[in-house]
Amino acid sequence: MRYVIIGSSAAGAQAAEELCALDKDSKIVVVSQEGYPPYSRCLISRYADGRLLESDLYFKTKDFFKKCGVEENLHTTAAKIDRAAKKLICENAKEIEYDKLLIATGARPRFPKIDGLDLSGVTCFHSLDDAYRVAESVAFVKEAVVVGAGFVGLEAAYALTRLGIKVTVVERCSQILPNQLDIIASKIIQRDLEELGVEVILNESLISINGTESVYDVTTADKAHIKCEFVVIATGITPNKELAEQAGLDTDRGILVDEFLMTSDANIFAAGDCIEIQDVSTGKRTLSATWFNAVLQAKFASHNMAGGRRRYTGAVGIQNAVQFHQIPAISFGKTLIEDESSDGYEVISIHSGNVYKKLVLKEDKICGMIFVGDIAKSGFYAALIRQEVDVSKYRDKLLDQDFSYAYFKDENFGQMDPYKTIPACWGSPVWWLQRAQCMGIGS
């Protein structure tokens, strides 16, 4: 079999590794636009501010492709899929034949429609190249503006602040992390960042970036000017679905796949940020741009490419863990409800100081959680959401300190069971006492 993988980030690298192990006689070809070994996109802010070295970003080993016997085509952009001839045509006119193709093209940053995006000192924050740009230019930068207070924006803001730059974050919504957190949680995280010196301006958007060659300042919708030499645009991402679209595969906002991660062509699979998934927590089809989902999808997709039939279920679109400064936070599943009384949603929460825990329930099942400050055991709650476990029996205990996996011992979540049943006589002395009484000993 000839497997061709487009993309070498989370999904692409994982799929290459799995396919190597599954099908030893196969030929695997990876096509990647970038020129690096697989690196972790989520960690580039830690490289930019010097917390990590470049070598720490490689989440597989540096010679990973060579070790797996994978043919790598770096700096190569896939241009067209010829489905009839089962060929992938690259921009450098190279043609690669495939038996099974995996599209893991990921996503690209989305830019707002404002003036001055072409000035030097304006960058997005999506790839290692961007991190290099940030690390290089910080030496002469004193003030910076970050547009967008999502994860990428705040990671960038935190990294720049650590480098001693005065950072202003401009966010269109009325809170930071508007897709992941509710207002209480976002306030806690915002305060944590502000303590460090980051300035956050909410309900505000940029209308232009001004300067002659490099940035001089930015103008907001309020006609206020913020002086800065550096602007990071982090206003979201958009899936790279064009390749699939031009090949005539079904797409909507992202590439559409069935539960086996197969596209509308039986020889073409897709995984990662470029696809849409069926979210169990909301019941809707959604885009998902998280590392965890990309890796899981790649695992299932590669099994199915190698001839297996593994269903990819229990997907959740929003699953994020984060700690910018001192307060960790986790958000999982459906955390945002416009009106609590509508649609049968119920919310339980506790809040004291910097610790905030919230669960969203619907029909005896948990469908979303936000944990801030204390994130222990959050994975257990996440599993309850993923597996749609009925929690009605323990409704009033859900946020107790001692609520734990012990309550669901019989749920093994698909893994080995470590609990051994032993003969009752081994268990407790009570058993022996009862037997003794039966036999009339001691009476």
Partner 1 sequence: MKRLMVKLERCSGCKRCELACMEEHSAQKNYCLATLGAPEPKTRIFVESINDRPMPVVCRHCNEPLCVSACMAGCMQKDPVTGIVNNMGHEQQCVGCWMCIMACPYGVINPSFDVAQTGKNAFAQALKCDFCPERETPACVVACPNDVLEAEEIKE
Strands (E), 128-222: 143-147, 166-170, 199-201, 206-211, 215-220
Q: What is the smallest separation between the CB atom of 341 and partner 1, expressed in angstroms?
A: 29
- Residue 135: name the closest of 245, 34, 47, 18 by CA: 47
Nearer to partner 1, 208 or 326 (CB): 326
d(CA 278, CA 264): 16
Residue 322, strand partner residues: 329
Nearer to partner 1, 117 or 196 (CB): 196
Q: Containing H/E element for 367?
A: strand 365-372
Q: What is the smallest separation between the CB atom of 207 and partner 1, expressed in angstroms?
A: 35
Check 20, 42, 228, 274 and give the catalytic one.
42
Nearer to partner 1, 45 or 168 (CB): 45
Does the active-site annotation cover 274? no
Nearer to partner 1, 95 or 411 (CB): 411
Q: Containing H/E element for 347?
A: strand 345-352
Q: Which parts of this chain interact with partner 1 (CB under 8 A)?
A: 10, 14, 40, 42-43, 46, 50-52, 56, 58-61, 291-292, 295-296, 299, 319-323, 326, 328, 330, 332, 375-380, 382-383, 386, 402, 404-407, 409, 413-416, 418-420, 422, 424, 426-428
Nearer to partner 1, 155 or 229 (CB): 155
Q: What is the smallest separation between the CB atom of 292 and partner 1, expressed in angstroms?
A: 4
Q: Which amino acid is at 414?
A: G
Q: Which amino acid is at 309?
A: R
Residue 42 corresponds to which tokens in the numbers above? 């989520």
Q: What is the smallest separation between the CB atom of 324 and partner 1, expressed in angstroms?
A: 11
Q: What is the smallest separation between the CB atom of 405 and partner 1, expressed in angstroms?
A: 5
Sequence-distant (6+) residues with CB within 8 A of 136 are: none
Specify the residue for token string 């720490």. Answer: 56
DSSP codes joined into one string, 44-76: HHHHHTTSS-GGGG-SS-TTHHHHHT-EEETT-
Q: What is the smallest separation between the CB atom of 378 and partner 1, expressed in angstroms?
A: 6
| Angle formed at CA 109 by CA 335 and CA 166, multiple of 5 degrees | 85
d(CA 310, CA 303): 7
Residue 124 corresponds to which tokens in the numbers above? 């997005």
Nearer to partner 1, 19 or 215 (CB): 19
321 φψ region: left (φ > 0), alpha (ψ -120 to 50), beta (else):
beta
Q: What is the smallest separation between the CB atom of 10 and partner 1, expressed in angstroms?
A: 8
What is the crossing angle of helices 291-305 and 10-22, to 10°? 30
d(CA 221, CA 203): 10
Nearer to partner 1, 174 or 428 (CB): 428
Sequence-distant (6+) residues with CB within 8 A of 28 are: 3, 4, 5, 16, 19, 20, 68, 69, 70, 71
Residues serving a catalytic function are 42
